[in-house]
Amino acid sequence: MAYQYLLFYKPYNVLSQFSEGSTPPAASRSRLTLKDFVPVEQVYPVGRLDRDSEGLMLLTNHGQVQHRLSDPRFAHPRTYWVQVEHVPTPRALDQLRQGVIIKGYHTRPCRAQLIPAPAALPPRDPPIRHRQTIPTAWLELTLEEGKNRQVRRMTAAVGHPTLRLVRVAIAHLHLGALQPGEWRFTTAAERQALLQL
């Protein structure tokens, strides 16, 4: 069996799985899934993105690669662009960098920095609700773990709820020119780097 590796830009409001359970016809399903965008058979997502998160997903049929990228023992970086309420203070950024307590768990240290609003990022559909009295800011967070809704819980723990969350990189793989709903096969160089993880 030939191994396949795909990069997919998961749009907002799409489930990170190929079926909604019993796989009814698309017209009768209430939620979009990976099956509505990726016609390749027998590939599976490496990790997940919540329905209300967007961005890069890796899909493969290579179990060993899937295991290495999913198992927390083999920490690998995941980078997110996160729009939050208010502008985080240096203290809030330091808290994120050192790790915060969420649901009784102390997160690992991460990289966190303020960034300008990403000009190349496609608008979200539906758009974020803007409130004139509440400013927003963008952060770039790079984590080496992926607990359920971790980024959202981390920003909330330091007083800055997440409004929009886009994963832009998994290890050496990047969104690049992909647009929401688009996918592509990895390049030879990307595959080689994956196999060396």
Find the domain containing 138 and state its range: 78-170
The average pLDDT across 101-108 equals 92
Q: Would you call 125 a catalytic residue per the annotation?
A: no
- CATH number of domain containing 47: 3.30.70.580
Tokens of 12: 């907002």
Model confidence over 69-100: pLDDT tens digits? 877 777 789 999 999 999 999 999 999 999 99
Verify that 178 and 130 share a domain, yes or no.
no
Verify that 64 and 120 share a domain, yes or no.
no
The whole-angstrom separation of Cα 96 and Cα 133 is: 25
Residue 29 has pLDDT above 60, yes or no: no
- Cβ neighbour number for residue 159 with a 10 Å cutoff: 14
Do residues 50 and 17 make contact, with C-beta atoms less than 8 angstroms apart?
A: no
Q: Is the pTM of this model over 0.85?
A: yes
Verify that 130 and 154 share a domain, yes or no.
yes
Verify that 91 and 164 share a domain, yes or no.
yes
Element (DSSP H or E) covering residue 192: helix 188-195
For residue 127, cis peptide bond before it (omega within 30 degrees of 0): no
Model confidence over 158-180: pLDDT tens digits? 999 999 999 999 999 999 999 99
Verify that 110 and 147 share a domain, yes or no.
yes
What does the pLDDT read at residue 74? 73
Residue 57 has pLDDT above 60, yes or no: yes
Q: Which of these is catalytic: 36, 50, 71, 94?
A: 50
What does the pLDDT read at residue 28? 47
Model confidence over 18-28: pLDDT tens digits? 876 554 555 54
Verify that 154 and 181 share a domain, yes or no.
no
Verify that 152 and 178 share a domain, yes or no.
no
* Between 22 and 38, the higher pLDDT residue: 38
Verify that 66 and 33 share a domain, yes or no.
yes
Number of domain units in the chain: 2
